[in-house]
Structure 1
Amino acid sequence: MTHESAPQADGPRELLAAVRDLTRQVHVAQRGTWFPLLVLAVVTLVAIPVYRYAPYLDLFGTCRSRQGERVCMEPSPTQLGYWTVALVLAYVAIAGFYVKQSRRRGVGTPIRPYVVVGVALAALMAAVSIWLTYHPLVPVPADPFSVDPVEIEVGPAAWLVNGLASPIAVIALALLVLAWVERNRALLAYTLVYLAIVLVQGSQVIHSTSRWYFLPYLLVPAALLLLGSAAFALFKPSTEVPAR
């Protein structure tokens, strides 16, 4: 009489592959990438009328006047206040979206690190911007009323610090955390491209007397965020998590 053991349904390799596949499915189900990009795009677009029509409140005493002309340092305290409040509210809305999504799908997303980092970066941006007002890394022209642009040699480190202190770059830095939270390589690649574009754009100086000179600085990032939101929503993988 021979004794034969019953064949196992799953070997170690099959079990490991099943666990990995289930983990991937859970990570996919946790994602809601399109919504943060959409909210941040809206925040960027709403900034346009703020930049154009909000009054300049000279809270830091940077304005200089001469013969009816007035020159003030950037950023405007009004703009800085808008970005700080708007970004905090945006992250609150994003957190609410992920909580609602988690309840609907039954799969939680550890969104807290993204929200905390986003709010902290918004506060840090405001603090650094105020500090740069009194300790500018980019030299201020001796004559702010000069009509002829003066070429100022500025090192890459100064441009990098000024660029990273901008609200557009702060959005990108927070998105890097979201890519880690969602284990989303596509979002990571997108964010790196977005960050590179906004940093290059931020290093360009526009000499213009138009009151709409700021439009490229806002429209380009907003367009990138809208396109990214549409792409992640359109090519969103299946969110079904297999039963165990």
Structure 2
Amino acid sequence: NYYYEACTGGKLGWTPEAKNTCVLVARQNGMELMCVLMGATTAKEMFEDARYLFDYGFEHLQPYRLQSGEEQSRSAIGYNSSGKAIGKMQLGYDITCLMDTTAEPENITAEWTLPEEPILGSASGVTVTLTMEDGADSGQSTLLGTYPAVVMEQSLYEEQQAAPVVKEEKPSRPGFMGVLLVAGKVLLIVAAVLVGSFVLLYLVVRIRYEYRKHKRNQKRREMAARGIYPKRKSVAGTNSARNGVKKR
């Protein structure tokens, strides 16, 4: 018998990896549950598991409504640009979650997420995660869900002092010593550039001189190897010519 009276709809499927799968919805006494199964080897096994889960849920679970204005065990405080506390955070709207019939609502804890720059009356980036402690000694908790929250425009504590506002200091103009310091840095940079240019020019001239000297020596060695020697002027002839010029 694969009939379940409370079932209102669903979808069956099968894949080689997940085997028999199903997504079923059932409604009873005003409470609607959804069952998702996979890995069943036969359709009978899948139906029996789904019926067991639905029976357990309708017997041991109950809806619990959390109103947006209800106080939670933890709140977060935001500040506006003037440093004034902008107030508490609360749920953006009323929500309904499923709880065990033996659970106590007082065990619900809220963890708030506040953006870096909260916007008053906005739920943008503000969330609350609700968890339920399974027991005082169990040390475990059940996640009820994460929901959008809102920052309210009201102060949490009247006696709370406003957060100090840090004013941005405008940069002061440099004085005479500052001008001298800047001028000195500029002169050092210019001097470094000039010295570098001089060194580079010296290296270029030196390299060219050495290159030409090397070429001349190489040419002389080649001529000497072929028995060609450059003609040299005699010193006596040069002196006679010089003496002749002096006599005139």
Please indicate the TM-score interval, normalised by the length of the shorter structure.
under 0.3
TM-score, normalized by length of structure 1? 0.22
* Structure richer in helix, relative to its length: 1
Structure label with greater radius of gyration: 2
- Where relative contact order (Cα < 8 A, 6+ residues apart) is larger, the structure is 1
TM-score, normalized by length of structure 2? 0.21
* Structure richer in strand, relative to its length: 2
